Amino acid sequence: MAQAGFLLGYGTDLVALSRRGATFVDKILRGAPPGELPIELPAKFELVANLGAARAIGITFPAVTLQRADRLIA
């Protein structure tokens, strides 16, 4: 969402989620019954800060937020 212009985005890492999904597809194609596969919750989340949007509305992020962000958009 931060890439679309929002100030902050926090959610699951879609790349990691896709990789986990691919392992489930692989197991199913190898013959595992889908009903017996475990349900998994996302394990990796990412925080993205949009510095351009913050600058446009006159907000400065605290240093802690910038350090914890996985990605910064200029």
> What's the pLDDT at 3?
80
> What's the pLDDT at 48?
94
Asked whether 70 and 11 are in contact (CB, 8 A), the reply is no
Residue range 10-19, pLDDT digits in tens: 999 888 889 9
Instruction: Label residue 30 exposed, middle or buried (CB < 10 Å: 0-12, 13-18, 19+).
Output: exposed
> What's the pLDDT at 70?
92
pTM here is 0.71
pLDDT tops 90 at residue 69: yes
Reading the block at residue 30, the tokens are 């190898």
Residue range 23-66, pLDDT digits in tens: 999 999 999 999 999 998 888 899 999 999 999 999 999 999 99
Phi–psi pair at 16, nearest 5 degrees: -65, -40
